[in-house]
Structure 1
């Protein structure tokens, strides 16, 4: 059969591993299996996913049509061959049933074929719109008229809202309609679809944009319909909404503006506004226009746009990109979204994502467990609780006379709960400072003294009355009044103790008094934390309502006002199991998927499942283009063991200095050295500086350090690249000191001369004494056994190491050395957790002399090959 040997239309000559990847992906989907695919970064993984999955989609669509046509032909033949039977009643029944089936099949076939006709019509409309737009569109007129209209609207808003707080009063009937219900009713009347969808998820939106670029390189670009889903925070182009920053507030403001679209406006022949009818104290969003959104949706489906293109086109057409993407979802065949949009059931529901019988491919799946944990963590800080408590108090007191008895009772209960949570984070005795504790959900509600309350109705009340956005509006409108009243209250409460403090000081200058006042003022909550804080509190209470046996509450109490409560999900697999059960096929793909066992348990949820297909692809580079070494002994022949107890010793730090000095002298180009933490990186650098190692290394390499600020990363990388390429005097490149799990360990490309050697010093185990980690390990040991907790601990370390290794060797002709500096890397179970392409050339248990010799020969050989070419 043709399916047994599918042809993949790769845009250029595919490598064998790419052919293997596409073939395995094709049949994993075809057989409705689960798959774990490891293909090293730089091997064209994204393009292989696109070609393999889209070829299956194309073949499956053809097969579906062919099967329906065959069934129709067979039924028609059967109907013709029906003969009179003695049992005429049964014969008539069979005839009716066959005719019903025939009608259903014909309807399906017509609908599938009509999709192509509609898509072609859509292409023609889009082409015509582009032509008209190029001839008629005047950007300056657009922006000026919009500006005038917005100014008029703002004036109306000011007039209408002055002295009127009706919009801030909670009302039990003021229920928030289901997310975008009106739009869904108006624009998605024919939501039923027959075609299977392919959902492709990745860690970041920039990685999703890469998939868009890869799809455009394939032969499918003219006939495939692709949409990228993202939140309003990423897609909103209304500056009045985006300035709110917090995603929940953006969502609420957007929905509020939709409700205001009923405002009628009379427009004259010249386009000027003649009359406005004021119906509400707000204006509808100018970008929420059904006709314009429809045009943008069609442009999106025809042109295949990434997020940046969609936003740009939305501004041009004066149409909302968020709703255009939502509207295009039903017609799309490939849907791109972030991991957060998939793993969170609330996000899936908000986007109206239907996974049942569809395909889910998760790229960069090494971060899937972390994404699941983050989606169900619900942290709430001391600052947020304090702010919510302050503003909720003033809210209740200000509107007490205008609230009905039931709402007032529920608001007081909410205020009581927030106060109890706040009390948990404000220890009464000094020895509880800098303390971390973990409780089961039952123990936590008892400790916080809220076990007598039914939290579910309270949470539902807050959501139905939209208390969070109302409290935000209250905080924006009455910030100054609240701060003044709070300042007075604190002054009165602290007066006696403050006077006692002053009396004990014999000489007090004005500066000291001013500093005390500044501290008191800075401790007051801000309107920003009040606006978003209640959302965090409600998320946390939502988790408490479930009372899951696999849930825990982490209490972190700190002196520096960073105390917080956090929900811990101990079993991420139980939430992912629902996704796996719905999908026809789930594929986890990544550059470094070791240790595989973690992802197997995530897919199977500790059940016996025979349909997990594990595919490990080699690298596109030849085996001798990678040299991997586990270094056991340093230049002075001392054992290299960077355990937490040993790593600060002068002897070991000296070994690091000698190692970097020697490697820098023989490795051409760029060397990237990863250290376990920012603190240890600072310790190493200071030691190298104080002991003159920096001076020696600088003769061969310009030294750079990873910045802690994300805004400085690009600048450091540019300087590093310049130093590598612009070699002056005896200098042969640059050395970059980085941190495992930092800003340079994931997603960055150190190809060719930028990363000729990657060094990982020590094993970056997380703090085993962390209560959070200990609780997770104990849970795994208790539920799974077989030292599952220790395995999880090892996996955390090795996943971080593998991400560092993946920064180098990015294409077929690239070459690099990987140096793992710690004797523990030579352990069999550790080497087994390294990427497949590293294991093939790995040298274990090496001394420093053996290592330096191997590195020298490696680069000498590639220098000769380069000269020959």
Structure 2
């Protein structure tokens, strides 16, 4: 492969992406597409699908970092060219001197920075080797370590919202904010020339986000594999004989206080909201107990050492915590000092998706690159970030806590504090009254009118925006909950609840203040296992508005995932105003040979496949047909005769899985039941909902299933695992090699259209389509597409559990006549459609399936 780093490439001289291995053609196609999207910029969006096992993360890294270094190099080249232009007409020797000085200046700065970072890398390696055998000194910061005398009024009495630095960053005092500016923390305006490293940090950054911290950790481990050349122009490197020089990627991981707080007295609070409130409480200027780990002028050296160490070592979240602990400086705040010098910034979904979280961390998306990995669930992730719910039991507990607090401090509360605490009590009472009334109404769930929730006790006259601002500025929720916990501890009585009730109320009130057109509020009566409670839930119906600030700010946005198909929803609901020439989509093939994949749609269990009683159709109205269920069991029995190792069967829901197993377990005549006959071929394992009483953990189920497959060869070689599409085993689980030699998808997991949530979604989609000028028919088609796409995304995730690397192989059987419909089949990933034979439907029924499967498995024997 050619080694040119020139961003302006031609077909004869392809880009060198510095991939640590020899890339497959699909990886080259993927990397080239990412590079092109970033190079075009100007609000470009790429929606890219690359199946699990094709090295997606490494391809994202190599393409994005290669582009970034090339882009930086092009800018420096442009600076040298500008120097040449400015000296047109000057003697050649003067031009040479000016260019040499410019080159030497750039090289000197780069060498000094890299030497400093290499020393830190070496020191880190030495610490890692020695550190395992050394005891670390734990600094408690003067907080914690047993009971102590508490000045209750000083500690818990609310002192007024916003009296110092009203509306400012995270409720921090003016004194704290000024100090943070001095130590170079991101998010605030710097004094010019204050930080010598600021110049190194100028330029575009790559913000990489994924769903979980474990996925980010995996990404960072991949980020350490490739070696990239520095962004210095070739003429500088050649002059200094450093053509082969390498430069470590400068990466920083951002996270919440909950993950990064090293103050034990704060971290032990557990909930995110309580930790946030206590942390900012300790920064208030009146606080006697300042946090010992907060970056300040006294620990400026440690703060800068934290910055340089993290930029030198490509740290994950555990490394960030460890470095902060070693240096005795807060990783949450100190990490901001590394943002200006970072090239790649990794962070979990919520910190990117919430505008206030981005502002709190000093994240600026303008002109930068955003890469969202595992993006198949990004729309759900946006909804989850803005979701909130509260239960009647929590409201009752919250009212009790307010009563305890007012009884102790009521006479001390003055002015605004007295009024606001009373208003919070009215809001709690009104919500409690509404839910208590709803318990007497028939029906287990429904949509709540937001206006009716606050009609009791005069709560509808309260300005929720002002009330929310007061609660956030005064840290009232933290003070009330902390005082009640303190009072219960003092009385040696057990805590009534560990749930941060008032913080839950704050989240729900925040949802109430959202635009009514964007979301709905639902109520649901809970079962006896949850105390016959009743809860209110807020659901964001559309991610468009919440995501718009990202889409409109970034230079380019990449949505990448193993199973992104079908693509239409992302454009329609995340980028509805995006012109067609700014959108790039790609569905990559798999790296496995075609002979390693068998895909079959089973439409019937009788030859001919032409409807009647012989059709497999697991629609809601037909799926309880006992004859069809029995024939499904007999089909699986035949499959177990030829399929080696593991077979994974996915059902549309836990309820239907229970129904099917119930039919299979029924004895008919004197012979064995279908369930017993299946168990005679392979051991059977069954997933259950995490809410089911006594259900085993995911790890336990997988452990038992794996052990059965790895057991010495017997007549019952392998095992069958029954799971659910969208359930615990359908995402993030690696069924590679023998764990899944065949995946069986039973039916399509269409959501329940009769549920209040989906009724509201469909109504919203249809009304917004009509508001844009669409007809009623077009609105119905659009809503149906969204409904179908939701089901097929879940199916595609389940299918993706099977083939996990180049040498892997598996059969995929889609059991339902509807998979033979072009509209449905077109929503499958391209590599799955490619694996289908003919039109994807075999009219020979089970006999046709078994003939194809038998030949496939014999070819792998």
| TM-score interval, normalised by the smaller of the two chains | 0.7 to 0.9
> Are residues 1:534 and 2:502 paired?
yes
> Which segment drifts farther, 643-652 or 348-357?
643-652
Deviation at 1:831, TM superposition (A): 0.2
Cα gap change, 1:645/1:831 in structure 2, threshold over 3 Å: closer, same or farther?
same
Report the 3-state secondary structure (helix = DSSP H, G, I; strand = E; otherwise coil) of the residue aligned with 2:346.
strand
> Are residues 1:695 and 2:680 paired?
no
Cα gap change, 1:135/1:682 in structure 2, threshold over 3 Å: closer, same or farther?
closer
- Structure-2 residue corresponding to 1:556: 524
> Are residues 1:68 and 2:79 paired?
yes
Cα gap change, 1:303/1:165 in structure 2, threshold over 3 Å: closer, same or farther?
closer
- Structure-1 residue corresponding to 2:235: none
Report the 3-state secondary structure (helix = DSSP H, G, I; strand = E; otherwise coil) of the residue aligned with 2:683.
strand
Task: Confirm or deny: 8 A CA contact 1:713 1:743 kept in the other structure.
Answer: yes
RMSD: 3.2
- Unaligned runs of 5+ residues in structure 2 are 1-5, 93-97, 229-245, 608-612, 668-672
Task: Confirm or deny: 8 A CA contact 1:621 1:814 kept in the other structure.
Answer: yes
Cα gap change, 1:807/1:428 in structure 2, threshold over 3 Å: closer, same or farther?
closer
CA distance in 1, matches of 2:686, 2:750: 22
- Structure-2 residue corresponding to 1:851: 849
Residue deviations 1:677-731, cap 9 Å, x none? 2222222233333342232222321211125449722222122222222243212
The TM-score, its normalising length taken from structure 2, stands at: 0.84
Deviation at 1:804, TM superposition (A): 0.4
Report the 3-state secondary structure (helix = DSSP H, G, I; strand = E; otherwise coil) of the residue aligned with 1:862.
coil
CA distance in 1, matches of 2:100, 2:48: 39
Deviation at 1:754, TM superposition (A): 1.2
- Structure-1 residue corresponding to 2:566: 595
- Structure-2 residue corresponding to 1:246: 271
Task: Confirm or deny: 8 A CA contact 2:605 2:846 kept in the other structure.
Answer: yes
- Structure-2 residue corresponding to 1:453: 462
Residue deviations 1:450-495, cap 9 Å, x none? 33222111111111111111112112112379999xxxxxxxxxxx
Task: Confirm or deny: 8 A CA contact 1:383 1:561 kept in the other structure.
Answer: no
> Are residues 1:178 and 2:169 paired?
yes
Residues 252-263 of structure 1 correspond to what in structure 2 (within 5 A)? 252-258=277-283
Deviation at 1:42, TM superposition (A): 0.9
**Match of residue 3, structure 1, among 1, 8, 20:** 8
**Match of residue 479, structure 2, among 470, 479, 487:** 470
CA distance in 1, matches of 2:268, 2:521: 33
Report the 3-state secondary structure (helix = DSSP H, G, I; strand = E; otherwise coil) of the residue aligned with 1:834.
coil
Residue deviations 1:408-429, cap 9 Å, x none? 1121111101111111211267
Deviation at 1:44, TM superposition (A): 0.7
- Structure-1 residue corresponding to 2:3: none
- Structure-1 residue corresponding to 2:238: none
CA distance in 2, matches of 1:158, 1:683: 58
Task: Confirm or deny: 8 A CA contact 1:23 1:52 kept in the other structure.
Answer: yes
> Are residues 1:581 and 2:552 paired?
yes
CA distance in 2, matches of 1:703, 1:108: 71
- Structure-2 residue corresponding to 1:219: 227
> Are residues 1:204 and 2:204 paired?
no
* Higher-helix-fraction structure: 1
The TM-score, its normalising length taken from structure 1, stands at: 0.83
Task: Confirm or deny: 8 A CA contact 2:430 2:453 kept in the other structure.
Answer: no
Task: Confirm or deny: 8 A CA contact 1:361 1:587 kept in the other structure.
Answer: yes
- Structure-1 residue corresponding to 2:821: 827
Task: Confirm or deny: 8 A CA contact 2:548 2:574 kept in the other structure.
Answer: yes
Report the 3-state secondary structure (helix = DSSP H, G, I; strand = E; otherwise coil) of the residue aligned with 2:180.
helix
Deviation at 1:344, TM superposition (A): 1.4
Task: Confirm or deny: 8 A CA contact 1:421 1:448 kept in the other structure.
Answer: no
Task: Confirm or deny: 8 A CA contact 1:225 1:301 kept in the other structure.
Answer: yes
How many pairs does the alignment contain?
777
Cα gap change, 1:696/1:454 in structure 2, threshold over 3 Å: closer, same or farther?
same
- Structure-2 residue corresponding to 1:280: 288
Task: Confirm or deny: 8 A CA contact 2:144 2:264 kept in the other structure.
Answer: no
Cα gap change, 1:425/1:174 in structure 2, threshold over 3 Å: closer, same or farther?
farther
Report the 3-state secondary structure (helix = DSSP H, G, I; strand = E; otherwise coil) of the residue aligned with 1:555.
strand
Residues 278-677 of structure 1 correspond to what in structure 2 (within 5 A)? 280=288, 284-285=292-293, 289-427=299-437, 430-432=440-442, 434-439=444-449, 441=450, 450-479=459-488, 526-529=496-499, 532-558=500-526, 560-634=531-605, 638-677=614-653
- Structure-2 residue corresponding to 1:516: none
CA distance in 2, matches of 1:299, 1:862: 50
Residue deviations 1:554-599, cap 9 Å, x none? 2334464442222222221122122111000011111111111001
- Structure-2 residue corresponding to 1:861: 859
Cα gap change, 1:526/1:345 in structure 2, threshold over 3 Å: closer, same or farther?
farther
Q: Rg larger in 1 or in 2?
A: 1
Cα gap change, 1:546/1:113 in structure 2, threshold over 3 Å: closer, same or farther?
farther
CA distance in 2, matches of 1:697, 1:156: 59
Deviation at 1:405, TM superposition (A): 2.7
- Structure-2 residue corresponding to 1:840: 834
Report the 3-state secondary structure (helix = DSSP H, G, I; strand = E; otherwise coil) of the residue aligned with 1:305.
coil
CA distance in 2, matches of 1:106, 1:435: 75
Deviation at 1:610, TM superposition (A): 2.2
CA distance in 1, matches of 2:111, 2:457: 62
CA distance in 2, matches of 1:348, 1:142: 33
Deviation at 1:163, TM superposition (A): 5.5
Deviation at 1:313, TM superposition (A): 3.8
Report the 3-state secondary structure (helix = DSSP H, G, I; strand = E; otherwise coil) of the residue aligned with 2:18.
coil
> Which segment drifts farther, 778-787 or 799-808?
778-787
Deviation at 1:16, TM superposition (A): 0.5
**Match of residue 776, structure 1, among 761, 779, 797:** 761
- Structure-1 residue corresponding to 2:740: 755
> Which segment drifts farther, 563-572 or 41-50?
563-572
Deviation at 1:650, TM superposition (A): 1.9
Deviation at 1:389, TM superposition (A): 1.5
Cα gap change, 1:603/1:436 in structure 2, threshold over 3 Å: closer, same or farther?
closer
- Structure-1 residue corresponding to 2:610: none
Cα gap change, 1:116/1:388 in structure 2, threshold over 3 Å: closer, same or farther?
farther
Deviation at 1:775, TM superposition (A): 0.8
Cα gap change, 1:140/1:610 in structure 2, threshold over 3 Å: closer, same or farther?
closer
Residue deviations 1:766-820, cap 9 Å, x none? 1111111111111111212522211111111101000000001111221111111
Cα gap change, 1:156/1:749 in structure 2, threshold over 3 Å: closer, same or farther?
closer
